């Protein structure tokens, strides 16, 4: 039983096999919000019993993803400061990993990595075997595969035939203790299992639908089904909120809880998140898009054979077998080579794409949940404190949710617009530290000038970095668009080139300290009045000279961000390249 009927305990228990999927982030968010609403406990548990796929780096990555989103946990592993991601959600909250005081609490809450809880699983397992509710099974994978194929050939659904139960119990136990490879299976009872779901209602499963599933693998580690049941009981979990893909796992868990004499938590299975094409959002859609693009471009061999994960053999196997997936770094290297933008699926994808964490949590909260009427009419924009105040299981929908990327981008654009120049600059700087460090070489003053100019024009931090790309190019590497140069520099007997020569002299007369956006704006306005020119006739020639194109932030900010030395060098090179000699 849970420690107190008044204490709500929720948990998020990811497997550390990669970055946090956006669907997992929503599950964590809803668990967090429900616990906060009821002054309960939200705990984080790392289910790392899949030894082949789990990694410590992935566990840290998931914790960093949660912390970046502002989803703080009361109990769980501690995320070291050096592993936190810069630019996280600006939300006041408790330090992740520090449990709040809840008085007398008999729960067995730690450790928080399943691989460190083996003794607890062994104890529960031994009890089931002793009571005849579980048993050792000795079939090899090849033998089980043959039985599955035979069932398929006969047009039947495979169900374990309990062949190992024909072996006397004493012999089974002796063989297992003697070290013979085996698994442990749960002896599924003949009674039907009923799950009362807070979202979907009553779900009943007959015993024919459940075979004697494995609860301990041959490597000695518990399966997901067994580990989660033992941990939820010992950690006092009262409410399990998770995606509908887990719905048909739950009868197994309820059956195990009854066999062990455990408390059954309240379950709430949330709608799945689908992409715009109506398919479940998954990492496979990124892989699928890359494979399709490779085929469309008729690429027969790896274009990057020296990149880890893209060697010739791996690439060929990936192209041949659609079930195979490239490692994340290899996939992103291939996408960059193909000039392909991959759809964001994990929290890390959205972070690197330059989305605000508070926008992500706002957006995913609406994927399957809506605020009640008393929270306000048609409320769509809200923060984490709002969610914690109003979240309730009764507002979770049953139908699948659509992940509308255009709507998310609109949300993010609004979020950036709502930031003042100072906050935008600070948060963009933090993002650049991890994703575009070259921009920071501009220095504080020039970066602030550029940030203020770009903020009203960008949708994401990545968008801002792309708009700032002109400042990252070496002065002697600017490529001039031929059409832009013809129209804005050479036309009208070289009117644009004349503007460049005149302004070059005015800029050269300024000191570095005077080379600021306000001063430059004044010089451009005065020159426009003097020559009876519109500002466009002045700004466009400058843009071509400074960026190679006619697109840039406001021209005074563009000049100030580059600085006097670069501006003079670029104007001189542009005049030389476009066929008119510079005269000092």
Query: For residue 350, is pLDDT > 50?
Result: yes
pLDDT of 582 > 50? The answer is no
Name the pLDDT band for 108 (thresholds 50, 70, 90): low
**Res 95 pLDDT > 50:** no
Question: pLDDT at position 94, please?
Answer: 37
DSSP 30-95: HHHHHHHHTT-EEEE-B----TTT--HHHHHHHHHHHHHHT---SBSPPPPGGGSPTT------PP
- Banded pLDDT at 213 (limits 50, 70, 90): very high
Question: How far is residue 575's CA from residue 553's CA, in Å, rounded to a whole number?
Answer: 22
Nearby residues of 361 by Cβ (< 8 Å), 6 or more positions away: 25, 29, 69, 70, 71, 89, 384, 387
* Bond before 111 cis per omega within 30 degrees: yes
SS3 (DSSP) at 400: coil
| H or E element that contains 29 | helix 22-37
Q: Which of 80, 88, 76 is nearest to 57 (CA)?
A: 80
What torsion do the CA atoms of 562, 563, 569, 570 make, to the nearest 10 degrees? 30
Is a pLDDT exceeding 70 seen at residue 91? Answer: no
Residue 82 pLDDT more than 90? Answer: no
Q: Which residues neighbour 3 within 8 Å (Cβ) at sequence distance 6 or greater?
A: 104, 105, 106, 107, 236
Backbone angles phi, psi at 185, to 5 degrees: -110, 145
Range scoring the smallest mean pLDDT among 118-132, 277-291, 359-373, 466-480: 277-291
List, for residues 426-449, the tens digit of each pLDDT value.
Answer: 999 999 999 999 999 999 999 999
State the pLDDT at residue 106: 60
The pLDDT > 70 percentage for the chain reads: 95
- Residue 524 CA: distances (Å) to CA of 43, 340, 449, 518, 528: 59, 40, 17, 10, 6
Residue labelled with tokens 């004349």: 498
pLDDT at 101 over 80: no
Residue 560 has pLDDT above 80, yes or no: yes
Average pLDDT over residues 316-333: 89
β-pair partners for 43: 11, 75
Check residue 102 and give its pLDDT.
40
Q: What is the pLDDT of residue 343?
A: 87
The predicted pLDDT at position 186 comes to: 97
Which tokens hold the place of 485? 């140069």
Structure tokens at 105: 């609490």
Q: What is the dihedral of CA 254, 260, 266, 272, to 10 degrees?
A: -40
Q: What is the mean pLDDT of residues 533-550?
A: 95
Report the predicted TM-score, pTM, of the whole model to 2 decimal places: 0.89
Cα→Cα distances 22→68, 157, 291, 297, 310, Å? 13, 33, 22, 30, 26
**Cα of 382 vs its chain's centroid, Å:** 20
Residue pair 412/359 in contact (Cβ under 8 Å)? The answer is yes
Report the chain's mean pLDDT, rounded to a whole number.
91
Start-to-end CA distance of the chain, whole Å, equals 87
344 or 54, which is more confident: 344
Give the pLDDT confidence of 263-275 residue by residue, as tens digits.
999 999 999 999 8
223-253 confidence digits (pLDDT tens): 999 999 999 999 999 999 999 999 989 999 9
Tokens 């299992």 label which residue? Answer: 193
Per-residue pLDDT, averaged over 314-335, amounts to 90
Q: Categorize the per-residue pLDDT at 329 as very low, low, confident or very high, splitting at 50, 70 and 90.
A: confident
CATH class of the domain at 475-577: mainly alpha
Question: In this model, does residue 79 exceed pLDDT 90?
Answer: no
């Amino acid at each position: 039983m849970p420690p107190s009927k008044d204490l709500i305990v929720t948990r998020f228990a990811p497997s550390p096999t990669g970055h946090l999927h956006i669907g997992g982030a929503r599950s964590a968010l809803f668990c967090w919000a429900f616990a906060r609403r009821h002054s309960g406990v939200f705990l984080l548990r790392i289910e790392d019993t899949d030894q082949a796929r789990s990694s410590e780096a992935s566990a840290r990555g998931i914790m960093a993803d949660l912390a970046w989103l502002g989803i703080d946990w009361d109990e769980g592993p501690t995320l070291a400061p050096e592993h936190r991601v810069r630019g996280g959600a600006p939300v006041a909250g408790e330090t992740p990993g520090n449990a709040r005081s809840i008085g007398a609490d008999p729960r067995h809450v730690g450790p928080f990595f399943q691989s460190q809880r083996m003794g607890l699983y062994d104890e529960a397992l031994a009890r089931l075997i002793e009571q005849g509710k579980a048993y050792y099974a000795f079939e090899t994978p090849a033998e089980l595969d043959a039985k599955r194929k035979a069932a398929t050939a006969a047009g039947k659904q495979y169900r374990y035939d309990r062949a190992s139960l024909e072996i006397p119990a004493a012999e089974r136990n002796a063989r297992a203790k003697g070290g013979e490879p085996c698994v442990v299976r749960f002896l599924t009872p003949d009674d039907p299992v009923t799950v009362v779901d807070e979202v979907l209602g009553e779900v009943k499963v007959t015993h024919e639908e459940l075979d004697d599933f494995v609860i301990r693998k041959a490597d000695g580690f518990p399966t997901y089904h067994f580990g989660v049941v033992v941990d939820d009981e010992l950690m006092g979990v009262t409410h399990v909120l998770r995606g509908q893909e887990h719905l048909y796992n739950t009868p197994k868990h309820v059956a195990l809880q009854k066999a062990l004499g455990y408390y059954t938590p309240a379950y709430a299975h949330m709608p799945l998140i689908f992409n715009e094409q109506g398919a479940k959002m998954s990492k496979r859609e990124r892989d699928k898009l890359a494979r399709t693009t490779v085929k469309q471009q008729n690429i027969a061999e790896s274009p990057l054979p020296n990149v880890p994960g893209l060697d010739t053999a791996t690439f060929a196997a990936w192209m041949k077998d659609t079930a195979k997936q490239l490692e994340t770094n290899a996939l992103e290297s291939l996408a960059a080579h193909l000039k392909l933008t991959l759809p964001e699926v994990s929290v890390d994808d959205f972070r690197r794409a330059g989305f605000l964490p508070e926008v992500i949590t706002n957006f995913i909260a609406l994927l399957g949940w809506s605020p009640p009427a008393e929270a306000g009419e048609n409320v769509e924009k809200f923060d984490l404190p709002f969610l914690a105040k109003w979240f309730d299981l009764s507002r979770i929908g049953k139908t699948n949710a659509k992940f509308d990327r255009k709507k998310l981008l609109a949300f993010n654009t609004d979020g950036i617009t709502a930031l003042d120049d100072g906050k935008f600059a600070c948060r963009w700087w933090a993002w650049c530290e991890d994703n575009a460090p070259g921009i920071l070489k501009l220095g504080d003053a020039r970066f602030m000038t550029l940030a203020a100019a770009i903020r009203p024009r960008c949708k994401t931090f990545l968008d801002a970095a792309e708009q700032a790309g002109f400042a990252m190019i070496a002065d002697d590497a600017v490529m001039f668009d031929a059409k832009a140069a013809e129209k804005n520099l050479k036309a009208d007997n070289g009117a644009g080139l004349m503007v460049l020569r005149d302004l070059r002299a005015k800029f050269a007369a300024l000191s570095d300290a005077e080379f600021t956006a306000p001063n430059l704006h004044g010089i451009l306005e005065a020159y426009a009045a003097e020559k009876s020119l519109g500002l466009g006739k002045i700004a466009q020639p400058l843009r071509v000279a400074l960026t190679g194109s006619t697109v840039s932030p406001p021209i005074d900010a563009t000049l100030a961000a580059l600085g006097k030395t670069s501006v003079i060098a670029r104007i001189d090179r542009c005049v030389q390249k476009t066929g008119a000699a510079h005269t000092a």
